[in-house]
Amino acid sequence: MATDAPPPSKAEPHLPTTEEFVEVQESAEFGELRRAHRSFAFPLTIGFISWYLLYVLLSIYADDFMGTKLFGNINVAFVLGLAQFLTTFLIAWWYERHSSRQLDPKAEAIKSRMEGGA
């Protein structure tokens, strides 16, 4: 009795081999996808960490400046602290926008080709 597995149905995606993964990883198209991600994510990450460290250092070493009242009980430290949250949400929104316009189409093309077995 033969115990061969049934042929894959058309509904199931092609499962790429290790060699196919390595081939795609070494392709120029995948390199471009990585460059597009890194050229956006790394500078933004460095910028945000620098901005956060500036806030922490100002809080530690510039008490007088951070305690400067802007209006009512609102001081510079409070405004910069809120700006940290605003910056976080803006970066997340900007990355989502960049990803959906620049990264997702390239990744989808690679994925489709890998699952299609082409």
Helix or strand (DSSP H, E) at 89: helix 76-98
Tell me whether residue 64 is in a domain: yes
Task: Enter the pTM of the model.
Answer: 0.73
Tell me whether residue 12 is in a domain: no
Tell me whether residue 11 is in a domain: no
Domain carrying residue 112: 18-116
Tell me whether residue 100 is in a domain: yes
Question: Which CA distances in Å does 110 have to 18, 23, 52, 105, 114?
Answer: 15, 11, 36, 9, 6
Tell me whether residue 29 is in a domain: yes
Question: Percent of the chain beyond pLDDT 70?
Answer: 87
Domain count, the chain: 1
pLDDT over 60 (residue 9):
no
Q: Mean pLDDT throughout 98-110?
A: 93
Phi-psi region of 16 (alpha: psi -120 to 50; beta: other; left: phi over 0): beta
